[in-house]
Structure 1
Amino acid sequence: MKEHLHQNYHRVIEQPLSRVALMATVHCLSGCTIGEIAGMVIGTALGWSNAATIALAITLAFLSGYLLTMLPIVRAGYDYKAAMSIAFAADTASITIMEIVDNLMMLIIPGAMDAALDSLLFWGSLAIALMIAGVAAFPVNRWLIARGRGHALAHAHH
């Protein structure tokens, strides 16, 4: 098993660093987006305050981000506890940055948090906020992967 991890890690780092970081960022952003959209839609539909909506969106973004990372690790034969540990180590920095930037953008864009679910303002603001969040997380993911941390840990277990 240890040899398998060693081979996978080297296969990951043999690819151009920026490409690996981009793929990791897109993967993490995908997981975050699922939870973020669900949280924003639920909070907005229920008429919750901005703080409650953002808290739900952040919670669901972390949950879905971690689960998306855990799935291939569990499929590779690891138990849930090991997969969870790897996902926490791999994704926490990236998800944290994405959630801070995304939710700040939603608060900064005039009217975004108060927009109706069927409005272009709501969906356009959310899309822009998520794209900016991904751009913000990329250099951190690249830096972590270059040091064998962050998403490099998850890729070594696939």
Structure 2
Amino acid sequence: MGIQQALQNVLTNPTYLAVWAVVVALSLGVLVWDLRTNNAELKSLMKFVWGFTVLYSGPLGLLGYWYSGRTQIDHDSLWRKGFRSVSHCYSGCGTGEVLGVSIAVGLFAFKTTGVVVLTFALAYFFGYLMTVGPLLQEGVGLREALWDAFYSETASITVMEIVAISTDVWLAGEAGLGDVLFWTSLVFSLTLGLLAAYPVNLLLIRYGVKGGDDEPRGDGNRDGGVTTPTSRETSEPSLRVSHRA
């Protein structure tokens, strides 16, 4: 039995699916409880980000939140900034990917090429929107916000979606909206995309392309924004630093 068939067997196994559903539900319950009781001061956007990250990746998303997203973390680090950053991208791209695959297969009955193109386009759009929107809210001009988002997010989104979409197409095959494999392959592929894009975000932050999301411990004392200066303010003019994650 090959890897593809083995994964398909797992992803269509009723016992596995039932256990996974319970684990995701419990993970979401813990997240909601902690956000309400211990981290209510987090910005609403990041609550949205963590909610979708846990919805798509279950306990992995919850561990990422516990490690990097709570106000109770004892110190910030590149690794924590990287996970907050990739989760920010993941929440938007994941939504776009779910919509893209569903529309391409269910509405238009596209073949593989059409599925890939439409899914990537919507994933990129939603991931891009998740960066442009907050920039505009912070008072950044439209032109600068559009460029900053393009400059800082394209590499992360591209790697995430290449891995996620190719995995989904490989596993789901000809499965349709009414097939369990269609949905389980999609969820599985999303998590692989998250893992693939994490080191990309670490590198982008390390080399000044992205600033990294604000440290959550400061959310109760700041109105928003990020801690890293923009390219006009940095002492290294050769590096353009995005306003956002």
TM category (shorter chain) comes to 0.7 to 0.9
From the two aligned structures, give the one with the greater helix fraction: 1
CA distance in 1, matches of 2:177, 2:188: 16
Q: Which amino acid aligns with 2:132?
A: M
2:202 to 139, 142, 148: 142
CA distance in 1, matches of 2:165, 2:211: 23
1:44 to 84, 105, 122: 105
Q: Identity, % of aligned pairs?
A: 35
Shift of 1:53: 1.1
Structure 2 residue aligned with 1:31: 92
Q: How does 1:78-97 map to 2 (within 5 A)?
A: 78-97=140-159
Alignment root-mean-square deviation, CA: 1.8
Mean CA deviation greater in 99-108 or 21-30: 99-108
Gaps in structure 2 of 5+ consecutive residues: 1-74, 214-224, 229-242
Q: Which amino acid aligns with 1:66?
A: Y
Shift of 1:87: 0.4
Aligned residues: 143
Question: Does the residue aligned with 2:209 lie in a helix, a strand or coil?
Answer: coil
Describe the superposition over 1:92-112 as per-residue Cα deviations: whole angstroms up to 9, x where unpaired.
000000111011101221xx1
Gaps in structure 1 of 5+ consecutive residues: 1-13
CA distance in 2, matches of 1:150, 1:31: 17
Q: Which amino acid aligns with 1:83?
A: A
Structure number with the bigger relative contact order (C-alpha 8 A, sep ≥ 6) is 1
* TM-score (norm: length of structure 1): 0.84
Given that residues 93 and 150 in structure 1 are in contact (C-alpha distance below 8 angstroms), is that contact kept between their aligned partners in structure 2?
no
CA distance in 2, matches of 1:113, 1:64: 25
Structure 2 residue aligned with 1:57: 119
Shift of 1:82: 1.0
* TM-score (norm: length of structure 2): 0.55
